[in-house]
Chain A
């Protein structure tokens, strides 16, 4: 497994330098990010911790090619995400990125299996959709529609959908935000397993400090700047987390 050890990664997958993002709301200018410098190594699991409005989601949106910084550079391997065209960004998301959202964002008109197939059909060398669902423990729910699944099950379908393409990057925005503790832990276990087995660089946004224990590194954001980066000497198994 090509996982960087603790400390600053030697071969960064993502490289962010001086990333600033400002929004104009009426006459006021809101600075969501103010000069972020961050490198992410292959296979690393990062937890982005911060309060609401700290800039976590903006940062992940920029890393996922959903938004562009006002200033600074963002590189993913050789690709300059700031200069890339819309089509290049779409291709980048299609090939390399898996997304997991707080509210699952499953397509209600497709079964669990079909929701995953929606992505495997787009990918170049995906794993079979069934296998992705088996990995998250949903082998018995393949033909269920989202409305027939619990919140935890829906989120695990979303994880299966994200990992099925064998992504190099897994971006998760508050994946346990809408779930209770037990269900949340099941979801985190699925994510941790996917990170280990697929070697995907994983960024996990949360405001729940307990979750930080499962990360290689914990990036604390506050007011659009990185307040601290903590390195965990060892990752806690999500099964041992409690909140």
Chain B
């Protein structure tokens, strides 16, 4: 047995390059599983801890105004554990440090109550003071420190409170400005202020306009919400809701669902590909040991010992790959966690390995190693030793491979050799091409998310929304008020929009969303099909996002029941005239005049879209910030820019890591294919060298074959990459967004270059081997 262990060491050393390639494949498969599985588990546990420790509320009830005395009655409702009133109001940040106005959501400092703030710096605002705690991301973006002042307009009043700290709350992990779809940490913040000071600012002394509460264990959320709605009906409540409707939590849930899909699908793709490649490579590697196996058996080693020896060889390779994979996975997980820290800002979040998912990864890779080794062994072990020691019969090239004369005449002898070599064992060639195609597909696919999100943002923020500025009011305003804006210098066009928060119902399904409306013939806002053709809003009825239609089970021709969630809480029905295959959000769209009729209002608007001369944008924005009742103003260009800054950078890093992983896998595969071609042709090449063919003539045969394999694999790999992208897009579609299956030419080009680059390097390596080929030795060897 000792001798066999020596042989093992020798084998590993002698074929180290090829085994290294296998180790890489194992390591990458396991690493993707460790990284993404661990990341998700770490995020989930950090979120749960955050929610628990900082007492994230269970139910949220916005209202117009209720006296504080109401709280006692609400606290006494069955199922209510803790009820906490507070004040929320919008503010416009108009600070000299910021080139354009931002928005703030002012909220009462919760103290040690519900939705407490995890302070990252500074201290809580003092009672009765004009002090603020701002979101940590906002503070970091502008390098705001305790002691700095922030100028803002609240309720038409300019104030300049002192920032005393920064922090995060479980309620506002994801926080967006009014009218925005994406978080923008540079232009929006939550600002916590002592309740008394905020009450004074908002004119809410002795009252509250927002209520959050936690439930008793085993209490029914639905019953509490119903009771609360009844209780608060007279106070302008817009309907209480649970965590499932809470914006930030819904976003996190969505994000986690996507991550979960990602953490399942992507490692499955990588690990599955790695397992396939591993099986392929190891089977071939062991099959080449056929004569040695025959010899060992002839010496008296039984099948069990021989089998165990090769399994041990497989296991050694696996063990190195597994250790490297777990280490690489932890490194990768930490890198990704670093990106997510900025995104979610859960306090105490750090990457930890997820034992379950890691074990699954290790098992899959282990199974691939075992089956690959056994498949290679099976054939050799079945043969009687005498037969195994004889070289395999010359590969059977039958008459069918003579090639038709017209083709034969066109091909030189080297080309005929190559074509016949590829064609005589089509299954093997197909497997090699499949292996290379998978590698190519992974590189193609690595560009997908970046491409898709670029396209999606362009589609949504450039093609469908052509405004320069958008303005949102705290409450609906009269439409004519914005028409006056046209007199402002620099403003070229003003178009109103009216958005209403609603609950849409159909049969037993319901969904809380927004009805969006704008005038027919709008130049600043439109809806497009996925092909880019404009869709007209119907004169009556609504276009509904296909995603929403799916959730509600509606088809064109069906009718939705609509409950308005604010103001007069109107109820009406709305026919669905068509579905819209959109990418972002889930909404229903109709003409503003139609919505006005349904709401029985004259010309109320929620805000306006503006076309502004490029040089006047900043000035117009600053003037609009001074208007009363403005909840937010945002510039489309800076919004997209800020999105790219916040998420683009992370996406780029993720895409780059993906590319490196996929590229490494591609290289390992191409290298192995090159080694296989070289090993199989070794004797032929040596013979040709002896017969007087030059190095370049023999190299041509070797390299052209690899080139053909690569050429066959590239288009197949591109198609497969597209299919993988489609699969991921499908798996990841959510309320938040649907990724378009977009792969730019650059992604295909990158995959092609990677594969051919890997082929070129492998070819260089093979050429070097060919130059060193000891022809005497190769001729002496019978195989």
Residues of A within 8 A of B (CB): 57, 61, 64, 66-67, 87, 90-91, 93-95, 97, 99, 101, 103, 105-111, 114, 117-119, 121-122, 143, 145-148, 161
Contacts and interface: CB of A to CB of B under 8 A. Distances in A.
18 contacts: A87-B694, A90-B693, A93-B691, A94-B693, A101-B779, A105-B687, A106-B394, A107-B417, A107-B687, A108-B394, A108-B395, A109-B424, A110-B417, A114-B416, A118-B688, A145-B401, A147-B393, A148-B399
A90 B692 contact: yes
B420 to A, nearest CB: 4
Contacts of B235: none
B692 A66 contact: no
B693 A122 contact: yes
Interface string B551-578: 0000000000000000000000000000
Interface in B410-464: 413, 416-418, 420-421, 424
A101 B690 CA distance: 11
Contact of B690 (A57, A66, A114, A121): A66
Nearest to A121: B413
Contacts of A110: 413, 416-417, 420
Nearest to B783: A103
Interface size, B (range): 20 to 34
B775 interface: yes
A67 B776 contact: yes
A107 B690 contact: no
A101 B396 CA distance: 21
B221 to A, nearest CB: 73
Interface of B: 393-399, 401-402, 413, 416-418, 420-421, 424, 683-684, 687-695, 775-776, 779, 782
Given A93-B691, A147-B394, A147-B397, A105 B683 contact: yes
B708 to A, nearest CB: 14
A94 B692 contact: yes
Contacts of A87: 694
A114 B413 contact: yes
Contacts of A57: 776
B424 to A, nearest CB: 7
B690 A147 contact: no
Given A61-B776, A105-B779, A111-B402, 13 more contacts: A66-B690, A66-B776, A87-B694, A94-B692, A94-B694, A101-B687, A107-B684, A109-B416, A109-B417, A121-B413, A145-B398, A148-B397, A148-B398
Nearest to A115: B413
Contacts of B693: 90, 94, 122
Contacts of A106: 394
A171 B395 CA distance: 26
A103 B779 CA distance: 9
A122 B776 contact: no
A146 B782 CA distance: 15
Given A147-B393, A147-B395, A107 B688 contact: yes
A119 B394 contact: no
Contacts of A118: 413, 688, 691
Nearest to B692: A94
B692 A97 contact: yes
A114 B412 CA distance: 10
Of A64, A107, A110, most buried by chain B (CB within 10 Å of CB) is: A107
Contacts of A91: 692
Contacts of B394: 106, 108, 146-147
Nearest to B693: A122
B402 A119 contact: no
B315 to A, nearest CB: 30
The secondary-structure label for the interface of chain B is helix
A90 B692 CA distance: 5
A111 B399 CA distance: 9
A105 B779 CA distance: 8
Q: Counting chain A CB atoms within 10 Å of each CB, which of B396, B413, B688, B691 scores highest?
A: B691
Given A66-B775, A109-B417, A111-B402, A145 B683 contact: no
Nearest to A94: B692
Nearest to B408: A114
Contacts of A114: 413, 416
A103 B782 contact: yes
A99 B692 CA distance: 10
A181 to B, nearest CB: 21
Contacts of A161: 691
A124 to B, nearest CB: 11
Instruction: Give 10 nearest A-B pairs by CB, closest first.
Output: A94-B692, A145-B397, A109-B420, A93-B692, A105-B687, A109-B417, A147-B394, A108-B394, A147-B396, A108-B395
Which has the most chain A C-beta neighbours within 10 Å: B393, B687, B694?
B687
B416 A99 contact: no
B402 A95 contact: no
A99 B691 contact: yes
A100 to B, nearest CB: 11
B509 to A, nearest CB: 65
Contacts of B402: 111, 143
A226 B775 CA distance: 26
Contacts of B421: 109
Contacts of A93: 690-692
A81 B693 CA distance: 18
Contacts of B687: 101, 105, 107
Contacts of A66: 690, 775-776
Contacts of A97: 692
Nearest to A89: B692
Nearest to B689: A90
Contacts of B689: 90
A161 to B, nearest CB: 8
B692 A95 contact: yes
Contacts of B399: 143, 148
Contacts of B398: 145, 147-148
Contacts of A108: 394-395, 397, 684
Contacts of B694: 87, 90, 94
A190 to B, nearest CB: 18
Contacts of B695: 90
Contacts of A107: 417, 684, 687-688
Contacts of B683: 105
With most chain A CB atoms within 10 A of its CB, the pick from B394, B402, B418, B688 is B394
Contacts of A94: 691-694
A178 B235 CA distance: 104
A145 B397 CA distance: 6
A99 B688 CA distance: 11
A114 B398 CA distance: 15
B530 to A, nearest CB: 50
Contacts of B396: 145, 147
B706 to A, nearest CB: 16
A87 B683 CA distance: 20
Contacts of B424: 109
A118 B776 CA distance: 20
A118 B415 CA distance: 12
A61 B775 CA distance: 10
A114 B413 CA distance: 7
A67 B779 CA distance: 13
Taking each of A57, A64, A111, A119, which has the highest tally of chain B beta carbons within 10 Å of its own beta carbon? A111
Nearest to A144: B399
B13 to A, nearest CB: 15
Contacts of B420: 109-110
A118 B412 CA distance: 9
Contacts of A111: 402
B537 to A, nearest CB: 67
A119 B690 CA distance: 11
A117 B782 contact: no
A178 to B, nearest CB: 10
Contacts of A148: 397-399
Contacts of A61: 776
B394 to A, nearest CB: 5
Given A145-B401, A147-B396, A147-B397, A119 B417 contact: no
B428 to A, nearest CB: 14
